[in-house]
């Protein structure tokens, strides 16, 4: 089984991903944090290279101001990830610890991330359990609703202790490319001969449907001399970031609207001409807004404004 898996990985694995071609622990750690809530292609093509260009080392990240880190993270969402990344760099400016237990003590590093750093960065014999690997293990052993401990024990049974990094990456890619939630390609899977769940693979991927909540948001827009009015975020989630001023809408001042998704919310964002400028306003140059700590919602709002208004 292990031989078949690694042979498949050598041929079909996603070796082109930049964090797969490095031994730099910081680079591996950064990729794992970014990939938690973001598609692989977006991390690879946009955020990962740009962030490393600005903060090439843990030391460089540790010396940066929080608002600089947030600005570099802008558009990725879930900004607590960036703040925890920054805090960890300040605690470990020279190198991350090699112990799973010590890694767990750092801000924003949970069981999965600690395991990934140990396996992918330090080549330790550790079972990594992301969504894809869990699905492969469930099907391979025909496990219905297993808890985390059962998945870990099952994963340990097949762990290749000679090549733990390649083994975990192979399982991850297998789940992403072949052992998919729907319509898995069982007939060409390298684990097919020993897989206990291949007859009913979708039996092991049943999940509850997410209930989405519709919400309307109303923001004010003021632009002068190619600068837009923004205010400090009042919420904890966007701490250290800038946002559009919230307003009570006046229909005569309506400019435009757009749709935006955020976690469980399906938002309709409506933009209006801002009549009264808040006392705590910051005027940000529109052509340099990509350097400011803005959420993807604010960026989308700026992009949606009529050219005549700008």
Give catalytic residue positions. 32
CB 219 within 8 A of CB 294: no
Q: Give which of 76, 97, 89 is closest to 299, Cα–Cα.
A: 76
Distance from chain centroid for Cα 72: 14
| CA atoms of 245 and 220, how far apart (whole Å) | 5
| CA atoms of 247 and 278, how far apart (whole Å) | 11
| CA atoms of 255 and 78, how far apart (whole Å) | 28
Q: For the purposes of burial, counting CB atoms within 10 Å of the CB of 306, is it exposed (0-12), middle (13-18) or buried (19 or more)? A: exposed
| CA atoms of 308 and 310, how far apart (whole Å) | 6
β 265-273/213-221 pair status: parallel
């Amino acid at each position: 089984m292990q031989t078949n898996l690694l042979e498949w990985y050598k041929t079909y694995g996603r070796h082109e991903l930049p964090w797969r071609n490095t031994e730099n622990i910081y680079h591996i750690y950064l990729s794992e944090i970014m990939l938690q809530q973001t598609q692989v292609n977006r991390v690879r093509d946009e955020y990962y290279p740009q962030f490393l260009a600005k903060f090439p080392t843990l030391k460089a990240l540790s010396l940066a101001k929080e608002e600089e880190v947030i600005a570099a993270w802008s558009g990725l969402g879930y900004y607590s990830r960036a703040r925890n990344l920054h805090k960890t760099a300040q605690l470990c400016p020279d190198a991350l610890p090699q112990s799973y237990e010590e890694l767990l003590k750092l801000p924003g590093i949970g069981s999965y991330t600690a395991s990934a750093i140990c396996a992918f960065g330090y080549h330790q014999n550790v079972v990594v359990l992301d969504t894809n690997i869990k699905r492969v293990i469930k099907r391979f052993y025909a496990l219905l609703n297993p808890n985390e401990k059962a998945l870990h024990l099952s994963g340990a049974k097949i762990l290749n202790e000679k090549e733990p990094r390649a083994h975990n990456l192979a399982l991850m890619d297998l789940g992403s490319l072949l052992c998919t939630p729907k319509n898995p390609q069982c007939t060409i899977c390298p684990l097919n001969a020993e897989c206990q769940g291949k007859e009913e693979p979708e039996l092991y991927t049943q999940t509850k449907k997410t209930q989405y909540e519709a919400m309307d948001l109303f923001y004010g827009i003021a632009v002068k001399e190619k600068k837009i009015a923004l205010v400090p975020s009042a919420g904890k989630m966007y701490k250290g970031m800038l946002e559009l001023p919230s307003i009570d809408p006046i229909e005569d001042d309506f400019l435009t609207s757009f749709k935006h998704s955020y976690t469980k919310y399906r938002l309709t964002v409506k933009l209006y001409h801002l009549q009264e400028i808040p006392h705590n306003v910051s005027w940000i140059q529109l052509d340099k807004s990509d350097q400011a700590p803005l959420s993807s919602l604010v960026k989308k709002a700026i992009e949606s404004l009529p050219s005549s208004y700008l």
